[in-house]
Structure 1
Amino acid sequence: MRHERDARESGFRDPVHDAQATFRCAMRALAEPGTIRTLGADVAPPAPLMAGTAALLLALADYETPIWLDPAIRAAEGPSGFLRFQTGAPVTDDRSKAGFAVLTGPAGLTRKHGFAEGSLEYPDRSTTVIIQVERLEAGEGWRLAGPGIKGEARLAITPQTAELVEALTINHELFPRGIDVYFVCGTRIAALPRSTRITV
């Protein structure tokens, strides 16, 4: 079938090397919140998935980490099959069961997001949320503080919403519970783990 062939042709060209390099980049982004990093893997996923989103999921997701996709992605022809084929991960309709979630914009994350936030005993049993944005810039925008940040970092995204800021503020207050967030713009990524405090 055409879609299966496209899925095969659009993943990592060098699966082992590209997955390892992407994993390291993703972990460094979490360790240094607000720092923008560029993923080097050449991935061509079906729209509306961005290359950076696909690379993160190909490196991090597997059959034990269900993926939740927002309605815009679910409605598109290709992304669900691409991710199932490339990662082995099931696509779920239940936000609370998702190991990963992909949003086509920040408006999809509100204080009542419904994603898994872990527990005090198992804070790692939470959802990692990937939010695609139109613009991602360091040195301006939100003020970030917390582990991995020397003094203060700045991060700006476009678009942004008051609901997103509220959700991220509440998320930090839940620490060690909560979600971890990656912002993706093309092949560029920045992370906001739950340990990071943001000020507008």
Structure 2
Amino acid sequence: MARGLMLARGFADPVHDAQGVFRAVMDALARPGTIQPLATDLTPPAPLTPDLAAIALALGDADAPLWLDAGLARNPAVAEFLRFHTGAPITRDPAEAAFALIADAAACPDFASFAQGTPAYPDRSATLVLAVTDLSNDGWRLDGPGIRGSARLSASPLPADILPRLARNHAGFPQGVDLILAAPGLVAALPRSTRVQEG
């Protein structure tokens, strides 16, 4: 019981807070290139950011295994927080994860490490949630479903080879991973259906 009392709290209003975060993420995925506000007052154990935590709490459940990057996995309190508030199992195998939480976005593993789905079941792929510090509507040019004409987006930090990674990921559509980019108070997304090119 004493250990449970030390656990960082989750959403103050679990139903409405989760719905608000879920809606922001779904809007970002439906309209790639748009930057949505992400309201959260969470204080999760470091290095889990409030934004990563909010998205995990809104999307995670007992049927959606979570994978944590090396920095997150080093602090046992992170896994305990996520298991308690989501019921999601924590997996060490990225290929088994429904969602991957990545605090050190610049060191994100190769996308091929994660579940890509199958031709028959492309929805059995992973969604990568990356913590970034900056999101803005400039830089790369985006086009594809959900985008009228084209859109602009930039984010940092990300891997140095992010554009070739995104090109390979898009080429495998309908298989591939989806990316959610979580900055302080903001969220954007790069689904596999989106083509991303140098601006």
- TM-score bucket of the superposed structures, by smaller chain: over 0.9
**5+ residue gaps, structure 2:** none
Which of structure 1's runs of 4+ aligned residues deviate more than 6 A?
Answer: none
Paired with 2:70 and 2:142, the residues of 1 have a C-alpha distance of: 30
- Please name the residue that 1:4 is paired with: 4
Contact 1:111/1:170 (<8 A) preserved: no
Q: CA deviation at 1:112?
A: 5.3
- Please name the residue that 1:91 is paired with: 90
Q: Deviations over 1:106-125 (max 9, x none)?
A: 33335454100101110000
- 1:156 is the counterpart of 2:162: no
Q: Deviations over 1:30-51 (max 9, x none)?
A: 0011111112232221111111
C-alpha distance 94-86 of structure 1, shift in aligned 2 (>3 A)? same
- 1:181 is the counterpart of 2:165: no
Aligned-pair identity in percent equals 46
- Aligned residues: CA RMSD: 1.6
Q: CA deviation at 1:63?
A: 0.6
C-alpha distance 188-199 of structure 1, shift in aligned 2 (>3 A)? same
- Please name the residue that 2:72 is paired with: 73
Q: CA deviation at 1:21?
A: 1.5
Paired with 1:135 and 1:162, the residues of 2 have a C-alpha distance of: 15
Q: Which amino acid aligns with 1:151?
A: G
When structure 1 is superposed on structure 2, of 77-86 and 35-44 the one drifting more is 35-44
Following superposition of structure 1 onto structure 2, how do residues 120-131 of structure 1 map, counting pairs within 5 Å?
Answer: 120-131=119-130
Q: CA deviation at 1:4?
A: 2.7
Q: Secondary structure at the match of 2:47?
A: coil
**5+ residue gaps, structure 1:** none
Paired with 2:170 and 2:3, the residues of 1 have a C-alpha distance of: 40
Following superposition of structure 1 onto structure 2, how do residues 95-174 of structure 1 map, counting pairs within 5 Å?
Answer: 95-109=94-108, 111=110, 113-138=112-137, 140-174=138-172
Q: Deviations over 1:162-181 (max 9, x none)?
A: 32222111111111111110
Q: Deviations over 1:5-28 (max 9, x none)?
A: 243x52100011111111111111
